Chains A and B, each alone.
Chain A
Amino acid sequence: MAWSKRDVLAYLDRVEPVLAKLDHFEALDVPADAGPVTIQDAFHHMASNLHPDLYRRQLSAADLERLTIVYGRIAEAYRVLRNPDHRRDYLAREADKRNRGKTETDDVKTGGNSAVARLSPKAQRLYRRAQTSLRMKDIASAKLNLRMAIALEPKSALLREALADLESEQ
């Protein structure tokens, strides 16, 4: 059976302030290594307690709207995690984001890497991806990302040196 009106409102009060910060695993309330069956079960469990259709008669229009937004966020987490391609891309992006955070702090310590900052946003992204690939010992991807960055910014010494370093290592 679905929750009571009070349970739902309490849940909304609890989850709304952190909604934007939840990652997909947290939104679905599953561990980060959850497999497809766990993910589907979790979504069914949440849907059977939180689907807006279940509360049309109990909640005010405004509260129903709040619930729809929260439920929509859960549906989005399910959309991404149930599909192996989306899940892989999502994990890569998250790792990228974490690494970028780290790089940015590094830059501050060393007085900022102005050579990186001079690159176009697209080339910056490719450069960071190359760094992420390097940390994951994926030399081939690192090279590919660097080459794509160079295609955008052929004059950047930073990029060409980074690629030359990689190629000399092998």
Chain B
Amino acid sequence: MNLAVGIDLGTTNSVAAVQTDGKIQFTRADDGSHTHASVVAFPPGGNVLVGPMARAQRAIDPIHTVYSAKRLIGQNVRSPLVQLALTAMPYEVEEGANQQPLIVMHGRRHTVPEISAEVLRYLKLKTEEQFGHSVEEAVITVPANFSDAQRQATREAGRLAGLDVLRLINEPSAAAVAYGYVKSIDEIVAIFDFGGGTFDISILRIRRSIFEVLGTDGDFFLGGDDIDRALAEQLAAEMNTSLSVDPRHSDEAMTRLMMAAEQIKIHLSSTTSASGTIDSLLVGDTEYSLPFSITRDHFEHLITGHVDRTIEVCRNLMASVDLQLRDISALICVGGSTRIPLVRRRIAEVFGQEPRIDINPDEVVAYGAAVQAQTLCSNPEPVAPPPQLDSKPEAAPAATPAALALAEPVARPLLLDVTPEAMSVGTAGGYIKTILEKNVPIPIEHSKIFTTAHHDQTRVVIECCRGAEKRFADNEPLGTLILEDLPAAPRGQVKIEVTFRVDTDGILHVRAKDQKTGVNTEAQLNVIGAPVEGP
């Protein structure tokens, strides 16, 4: 028997789950936890470490340890945001073919999908070991605002890891599947997904077995990493003042401060102050120890800008889906950063209700992915019973609808997802025309007639981009579609029907048909930053 795995491939941590023996179960790390560090280390000697072993390596050998690879996957290495992210990464990154980033380890160049494939291969292996069956098929989750290139690169990573990727689903949608699956409800829910590297907000209508995404928005470069960095910067400044040593030029020391900041952040989620000493801070040839003491108030002051940004995105989305805050009947937290008290307080304020945390925010995405994998895999098990809820007393009433849902045959959840961003084409004068706006249901087919602008024009070039900014240059280029060998005719006489299709993974495909001859051209978009197909 083969298992179909659901994988939450996170920026800092990944989680895998399968349905087996009639229930959803998580892949355990060696220490028994359900989260696996998304870190790949290349220690000298040629072997590759993944997970907790690699994480430990990060402190010792940061320049040969790849973390937060998700921030680079499917990205154009020249984009300003990536350049900014790179300044915080101690490992070496080069520009490769098609402007994709290449990670250099001991002189060998690795594509980002190759790095992510290491994490996926590790999870596949761990799952196979634990459950005693081979794992062939997978549903992998991606941030709702992932671009075409990022989705294609994530698919490529799955393929390299030997997985048949059944589907890429959006993380908040996966969370909703896990949640709605337990509740069997008819309501509108907001999923607030604040993880290690990205932030997403999604509004869904859950009705019987249908999960319709009404809208989604997010900030791709906003996550727990940024919060850690804000705190690490503060610690670095304090070190500069108290010890007269500036650690900001030492990769080793900054990595150490980042890791300490993460621990302090976690600590401050349950206590109101934290103090201690960070040792082994290597600057130059000297090791320093930095005593620190920080209150939760001070920490909140440091990160309030990042939290405000998430609230701003929420407000924009509510306005764009034309819903009032009172229409939201449940607010669901996903991702480790939602454990921060300031985050919970602010969203409770904005949405006028306490967020739901009855499903573990770190595991809910992989849980939903595993449920979705059952819907799509080649040999599904019968529908599994609902998950064990966290043993929080206030979560107890939720058991009633779940029990009801079990009494009758439960239909498999059907997820109606949406396009993460508008798809547009370039027009004369450097402007754009939007073909499919953001948040439209997928899969979708939209046709549009293009004509020639000049007499005897035999070639039409259609430039596609992602985004809805007025000027083409302000959007993310997706690629160029070239229609050639058109019949020579007066301008406007040649009519070409171009069909834009967004598939179930959220990836854009374009095909063109000459209306007169009926000749089809399957046009391939050359996506910038996407992995280059091997021979």
Contacts and interface: CB of A to CB of B under 8 A. Distances in A.
Contact of B445 (A48, A72, A78): A72
A139 interface: no
B414 A53 contact: yes
A135 to B, nearest CB: 25
Chain B CB within 10 Å — which of A44, A53, A121 has the most?
A53
Interface in A86-126: 121
A57 interface: yes
Given A44-B207, A48-B210, A79 B440 contact: yes
A65 to B, nearest CB: 11
A76 B210 CA distance: 18
B52 interface: no
Contact of A72 (B207, B210, B443): B443
Interface string B151-164: 00000000000000
Nearest to B379: A57
Given A53-B414, A56-B376, A69-B445, A75 B504 contact: no
A89 B409 CA distance: 43
B400 interface: no
Contacts of A78: 441
B492 to A, nearest CB: 5
Chain B CB within 10 Å — which of A51, A57, A75 has the most?
A75
Chain B interface size, as a band, is 20 to 34
A52 B444 contact: no
A43 B414 CA distance: 13
B445 A76 contact: yes
Contacts of A51: 414, 416
B325 interface: no
A78 B440 CA distance: 9
Nearest to A1: B411
Nearest to A121: B492
Interface of A: 1, 43-44, 47-48, 51-54, 56-57, 68-69, 71-73, 75-76, 78-79, 121
29 contacts: A1-B411, A44-B207, A44-B210, A44-B212, A47-B212, A47-B414, A47-B416, A48-B208, A48-B414, A52-B443, A53-B375, A53-B376, A53-B414, A53-B415, A54-B414, A57-B378, A68-B443, A68-B503, A69-B445, A72-B443, A72-B444, A72-B501, A73-B445, A75-B440, A76-B445, A79-B436, A79-B440, A79-B446, A121-B492
Given A53-B375, A56-B376, A76-B444, 10 more contacts: A1-B411, A48-B209, A53-B376, A53-B504, A68-B503, A75-B440, A75-B443, A75-B445, A76-B446, A121-B492
